[in-house]
Amino acid sequence: GAVVSQHPSWVICKSGTSVKIECRSLDFQATTMFWYRQFPKQSLMLMATSNEGSKATYEQGVEKDKFLINHASLTLSTLTVTSAHPEDSSFYICSARQRGGGAMNTEAFFGQGTRLTVV
C-alpha cells in the first residue's frame, strides 16, 4: 500500500516552454501533497505544500507564478514549470500524505521523481 506514482520520469524541454508533472496516489487518498526539488548531491528542498481543493502554500523563495501547483482531487496533484529555463533543470519529487486520523497521517510517501532538463 501507499504507492505514489509520478509522471513523467524524465523530460527534456526547450527553454521558454512549460512542463507539467503529475503526482498520483494510487491506493490511498492524499489530503496533502508536497513538491520537492533536489539538485545533485543535495537534500530535498520543499517547494510547496498543496491541500486538496485549496491553494498551495509555497516556501520562501519559490515563485508561485513559475511553479504552478494544482491539487484538484484527493489522488492527483500537478506541478507545472512555466517558461522553463536551464537553471530550472533539476530532480522534482512529489510526496503524498494519507488522509485519516492517527499516526499514519504524518507519514509521507514519495513518487519516483522526475528529471527535468531544460535546453
Partner 1 sequence: GQQLNQSPQSMFIQEGEDVSMNCTSSSIFNTWLWYKQDPGEGPVLLIALYKAGELTSNGRLTAQFGITRKDSFLNISASIPSDVGIYFCARSSYDKVIFGPGTSLSVIP
Question: Which residues would be at the binding site for partner 1 (CB under 8 A)?
Answer: 4, 6, 32, 34, 36, 42-46, 49, 57, 91, 93, 95, 97, 103, 106-113, 115
Q: How many residues does the chain have?
A: 119
To partner 1, the closest distance from the beta carbon of 16 in angstroms equals 26
Q: Map grid coordinates 521558454 to a residue.
A: 16
Alpha helices for the chain (secondary structure H): none
Enumerate the β-bridge partners of residue 58: 48
| Residue 4 or 16 having the CB closest to partner 1 | 4
To partner 1, the closest distance from the beta carbon of 14 in angstroms equals 23
Return the C-alpha cell found at 62. Answer: 519559490
To partner 1, the closest distance from the beta carbon of 38 in angstroms equals 9
DSSP 83: S
Return the C-alpha cell found at 23. Answer: 503526482
